[in-house]
Structure 1
Amino acid sequence: MRLRNKLTVAALSAATLTLTACAGGATSGGDTGGGASGSGTVTFRSWSPIEQTTTQMVDAFTKANPGTSINSTIFNYPEYLVDLQTRASSNTMPDIVGLQPGALTQQYRDKLMPLQDCAEKTWGADWKDKFYPIGLEQARMGNPDGDENYYDLPILVQTVNLWANTDILSAKGVAIPKTWDELKAATQKLKGGKYAPFMLPAKDSWLRNVVYLQIANNVAPGLAYQAEDGSDSWTNPKLVEAFDYWGKLFTDGIAQKGAVGLDAYPSGANQFEAGNAAMIPLGAWWIQQSDPSRSGTPKLSQGMSGYQPFLFPTIPGGAATSQYVGGIDVSLGIAKNTKNPDLACKVLTDWIAGQGAQVLINTFNDLPAVKGINPQKFTSDKQQQIWNTMTQDWMPNVKYSRYLKSPAVDTALGDALAGVATGDLTPQKAAEKVQAAQVKANQG
């Protein structure tokens, strides 16, 4: 999950974009119904994209579609979850809802409209070819057996990876590490400065989990997901080994002291942008720091001049090359009870692959869910090089999900990794705890 959006939106105090006089749930009655003409009003509620970007997307759509309006409300993430749950229980779902794959989408599946007909009507029978494969795969994550519907479609996708401060590495003569041994050697060589060689914001469960999944897929590609579906186990020695390598980040002195007390946002991100770390595990979304419309951009972020993304180093005895892990940043769904499905479909598909999508991508908010959309303006060759690496080289090859299907197992994994980090759990015990949660989840 890309948390900078959460932080920014929180600071906006759940600001409302009152673009029409109408507010509330799915549109109904009067001249807001629209119908087959695709005119009228729809409501949109989410935590992402951020308010400023959403405003631009709304303006682009309504300007191109006279007679339409979009009533949009952007929350911080925790408040959004409460609002969505409240509206679902009172049958006042917004027409268009922000979602994440798996648990959040499945929680509201019975309130959501299948979207494949909307997609085919807009883009044709081969509509799936437009998307990066991992996005569509994750869109159906958690569907019951036999349910092939798409209840959400991705608007933004991402890789999880590491970032280097190239100014620091160049000054110390350190190359970006490609193997675990190179990572250890690099952090040792970088010690002694006024920065963390490898800043690990291990306070956040989501970050612990995505780092572990990168390690696990480099140890044994795909094995974690076999443990998820019950065809293997989290206690498989290879997954225990992945817990062990997670622990080595702490015991081998790779992570900074106090890592378990540092959050990714705002603390870790702010420190990295201030030049206080040589490397940090984040994801493709970090390119948004170079948004050309951003004011007061620090020097490192201007055109991405001080940064370079790289994949998590390979693990001894594991895969020969670093594996690609990632997936959906944010997806959109349409309420089953919308009174204006045609307009809701038109807005959703425009924001995925139309003028609204172009506005969104122009801000470098994250990577587009569909292939071939690029920012209309790059501010530096470095920025364009990084963008091309992530959209052309990485995203088409993302095979492994940064998400787990079960929220209970996701929580258990985060807790187990915290226990390993503090030394309260051995890798074996951590694996056993996650496996116990997995067995319970699979039993329903």
Structure 2
Amino acid sequence: MTLRRTLCFGSAAVAASLLAACAGGATESPDDGAGGTTGSGDAGSATVSFRSWSPIEQTTAQMVATFEEANPGTQIDTTIFNYPEYIVDLQTRASSGTMPDIVGLQPGALTQQYRDHLMPLQQCAEDAWGPDWQDMFYPIGLDQARMGNPEGDENFYALPILVQTVNLWANTQILEDHGVEPPRTWDELVAAVDTMSGNEFAPFLLPAKDSWLRNVVFLQIANNVAPGLVYEAEEGAASWTDDGIVTAFEYWGRLFSDGIAQDGALALDAYPNGANQFESGTAAMIPLGAWWIQQSDPSRSEVPPLSEGMAGFEPFLFPTIPGGAQESQFVGGIDVALGIAADSENPELACQVLTDWIAGDGAQDLINTFNDLPAVTGLNPEEFTSDRQQRIWSTFTEDWMPQVQYSRYLQSPEMDSALADALAAVAAGDSTPAEAAAAVQEVQDSVNS
């Protein structure tokens, strides 16, 4: 039984309690510059606005239609941007006092940047789901939802709607053709690449142009070398120049210096080029994450053979590193979270929409597209197109997500940028691992000062 069958939304009692718990000041909504109003329009109207970069537009439209059909008289005004444009739009609206009712957020820096514009959500969650509402969520999602809060501030200014692991993916047909198993150790990775080299496909396709991908690959390596040490360095309890982190920079560099990654890796982006190459069958392995299962979404207009029911793909964890943890560590967390504007004119409806999209009928619409993994446990697609697809889904949701302990994010944008820049310098041969670690620590000292 899915959560769609067990949770009820939209009752008058819930709406009334949310109004009492979440009501903010009712102020005039200024024009949003696009022919409409922000907030909820006229006081007492049943309209809320939603702005984000995710979920994708067609999935969001389906979620909106489901909610509006179940709640006659309500309206959700939505705009889905590309991520860079969304960040600009959100900054503009926050500075002009025209925040949307519901906003898409990432944990840490982005949520903290707009914390003063967001209402705490724990009362909203308790009214919708009861006092034990936190038990519904994967723990890493709730941990990250409060990442960066000031000391003593236990509020949830955002709640996750989608979560994910970061990991590797294999083209199973290529590996089988060459007698290779998904590598579990660094030595096995090196051997697998050597075995498959010299063909018309990349044994290990690394789209290292993207700063986010450089960071998530490094965080998998770093946590396999010295679990949790990078986060201690962020908090000032350790240093980025500690041996374990320098070793992680060394193994990151060996992806390039030892020919594990393809030539020109720093010029290849993950989307669209890296993803297109992998889906077309011209790469044996690639570092992405749980979201790759969305390639098997049956609602896609054309599903390539490898992606149909995940017929040609298999996820596996980043290999262990000599001298590090004996087992691969789980890294991941929030994909997208949702927040509600503190000055929303219709906070009860905004909360009803938010909770529906996290764990109600709207959430079911979202998960039916395999867009990513649900933030709550026990929510599964209503239909699977193959046993393999269902098995991979279960691996993510039942085996891996409950074990995710380490974040795919750093807490501040300055540190994200500093790490990504240092990794690029190591990959290009412009910096040694020790120099890269020292450069990151220099930025960390500035952030912590």
CA contact (8 A) 1:25 1:87 kept: no
Other-structure match for 1:353? 359
Other-structure match for 1:429? 435
CA contact (8 A) 2:41 2:47 kept: no
Other-structure match for 1:10? none
1:125 equivalent among 107, 125, 131: 131
Other-structure match for 1:341? 347
Other-structure match for 1:27? 40
2:370 equivalent among 344, 356, 364: 364
Q: Report the Cα distance in structure 2 between the residues aligned to 1:151 and 1:246, rounded to whole angstroms.
A: 35
Q: Tell me by how many angstroms 1:406 deviates.
A: 1.1
Equivalence map 1:16-55=2 (5 Å): 23-30=36-43, 33-34=44-45, 40-55=46-61
CA contact (8 A) 1:24 1:94 kept: no
Other-structure match for 1:6? none
CA contact (8 A) 2:249 2:426 kept: yes
Work out the number of aligned pairs and report it. 416
2:122 is aligned with 1:109: no
2:123 is aligned with 1:100: no
1:248 equivalent among 248, 254, 268: 254
2:245 equivalent among 220, 239, 244: 239
1:68 equivalent among 43, 65, 74: 74
Q: Tell me by how many angstroms 1:253 deviates.
A: 1.0
Three-state SS of the structure 2 residue aligned to 1:70 is strand
Q: Report the Cα distance in structure 1 between the residues aligned to 2:149 and 2:413, rounded to whole angstroms.
A: 14
State TM-score, norm by structure 1: 0.93
Q: Tell me by how many angstroms 1:25 deviates.
A: 1.4
Runs of 4+ residues over 2 Å off in structure 1? 21-24
Q: Tell me by how many angstroms 1:301 deviates.
A: 0.3
Q: Report the Cα distance in structure 1 between the residues aligned to 2:429 and 2:96, rounded to whole angstroms.
A: 46
CA contact (8 A) 1:23 1:71 kept: no
CA contact (8 A) 1:220 1:238 kept: yes
Other-structure match for 1:56? 62
Q: Tell me by how many angstroms 1:23 deviates.
A: 3.0
Q: Tell me by how many angstroms 1:22 deviates.
A: 7.8
Q: Report the Cα distance in structure 1 between the residues aligned to 2:112 and 2:314, rounded to whole angstroms.
A: 36
1:80 equivalent among 81, 86, 90: 86
Other-structure match for 1:312? 318
Root-mean-square deviation (Å): 0.9
- Structure 1 unmatched runs, 5+: 1-20, 35-39
1:163 equivalent among 158, 169, 191: 169
State TM-score, norm by structure 2: 0.92
Equivalence map 1:240-319=2 (5 Å): 240-319=246-325
Amino acid at match of 1:284: A
- Structure 2 unmatched runs, 5+: 1-33
CA contact (8 A) 2:100 2:341 kept: yes
Amino acid at match of 1:436: E
Q: Report the Cα distance in structure 1 between the residues aligned to 2:376 and 2:124, rounded to whole angstroms.
A: 16
Q: Report the Cα distance in structure 1 between the residues aligned to 2:324 and 2:53, rounded to whole angstroms.
A: 38
Equivalence map 1:168-179=2 (5 Å): 168-179=174-185
Equivalence map 1:170-249=2 (5 Å): 170-249=176-255
Q: Tell me by how many angstroms 1:139 deviates.
A: 0.4
Give % identity: 72
Deviations, residues 356-408 of structure 1 (Å, cap 9, x unaligned): 00000000000000000000000001100100000000000000000000110
Amino acid at match of 2:394: N
Deviations, residues 177-223 of structure 1 (Å, cap 9, x unaligned): 00000000000001111100000001111000000000000000000
Q: Report the Cα distance in structure 2 between the residues aligned to 1:28 and 1:276, rounded to whole angstroms.
A: 51
Amino acid at match of 2:41: S
Amino acid at match of 1:26: G
CA contact (8 A) 1:111 1:335 kept: yes
Amino acid at match of 1:24: T
1:89 equivalent among 95, 98, 106: 95
Q: Report the Cα distance in structure 1 between the residues aligned to 2:141 and 2:257, rounded to whole angstroms.
A: 36
1:323 equivalent among 329, 353, 365: 329
Other-structure match for 1:13? none
Q: Report the Cα distance in structure 2 between the residues aligned to 1:289 and 1:84, rounded to whole angstroms.
A: 29
1:390 equivalent among 372, 375, 396: 396
Q: Tell me by how many angstroms 1:123 deviates.
A: 0.5
Q: Report the Cα distance in structure 2 between the residues aligned to 1:251 and 1:23, rounded to whole angstroms.
A: 55
CA contact (8 A) 2:291 2:372 kept: yes
Three-state SS of the structure 2 residue aligned to 1:382 is helix
Q: Tell me by how many angstroms 1:104 deviates.
A: 0.7
Other-structure match for 1:17? none
Q: Report the Cα distance in structure 1 between the residues aligned to 2:83 and 2:265, rounded to whole angstroms.
A: 24
Q: Tell me by how many angstroms 1:252 deviates.
A: 1.2
Three-state SS of the structure 2 residue aligned to 1:429 is helix
Deviations, residues 58-109 of structure 1 (Å, cap 9, x unaligned): 0111111111110111111111111111111111100000000011111110
Q: Tell me by how many angstroms 1:28 deviates.
A: 3.3
Amino acid at match of 1:351: W
2:423 equivalent among 408, 417, 423: 417
CA contact (8 A) 1:23 1:43 kept: no
